[in-house]
Structure 1
Amino acid sequence: MKLHPVLAIFLIIILVLLVLVVVRKRSDDRSFDERQLQLRGNAYKYAFFALLLFEAFYAIALLFVGHPLMADGVSALLGIFLSITVFAVYCIRNDAFKTNTHAVTLKSYCILLVIVIILNSWNGIQSLRSGEMLDGGLLQMSVAAPACAVCFLIVLIALLVKAASGKKEEEI
């Protein structure tokens, strides 16, 4: 029995959400200060505009090409991935993202991100091999797995860069 790529992505997302809920419940100090709340508000704003611009560019591309480039719902899903990535990277870069609580460390976030990247990359490779990503010249929903892997990879890089720059600042 072969697991459909979209189902696999949703199962992974549900698993990640369950882990985050459990970790959040165990965490004692999850409050953000006023500066962090304001930065998170800015992150929401930039994420929204990234989604808006992505969809606008896709709509303009549709006008020039004259036919859809993606199956129904794929552009919306890719736009959501882009939006979440913009939000996460902005929060990480501006210290509006907590990683040093009792239950969650930078190492555990990185391990979780690597697991999701590996699973989605593997699923994307399988979809690419079987030819499920392109059907009739349209990007299909199976492109979601590698897109998710790329987004998580970008977030992982942002976390590692932030951690490395934090260590350099401490040494100075």
Structure 2
Amino acid sequence: MPTRLECQQGDIAHQPDMDAVVNAANAELRPGGGVAGALHRAAGPELDRACRPLAPIEPGEAVITDAFELPNRYVIHCLGPVYGRDGPEAERLADCYRNALELAERHGLSRIAFPALSAGAFGYPLEEAARIALATVLETLPRCPGIAKVRFVLFDAGSTEVFKRTLDSRNQTL
């Protein structure tokens, strides 16, 4: 059965039908703003305690913890590159998606939700981030046969439209 890939506007902390959600983490895996803040608030203080021994991580790395009070089994934490600082940025961003999917596959997870990694406070241009994210997921999924659904959960309507348009253009070229 082919993997279902979807893009929707929503809150990454409220994806109860997903086995894992991906955190747009900082290097120290601490609560912060944006996605990291939302996930840490929803998961409760246990998430911060679980993250501490895993930190620090490098751009492109992915680590996994329990999800605690989130409606998911796991949180996969990825450190995306800061645009203009953590080069080569495209390679590091692709590593995030690839490593998260491979980690999900190793843990027997079939449904995973991603935010737009690095496209917020880390300054990655949204269109380029969407292109890299979707291309990497599509290239990696054949090596992850257990993954049945990948969802991109975008915070606002504009970001959702960019991801949907990028996915539609990818599907037309397949």
Q: Provide the TM-score with structure 2 as the length reference.
A: 0.30
Q: Which has the higher helix share?
A: 1
Q: Provide the TM-score with structure 1 as the length reference.
A: 0.30
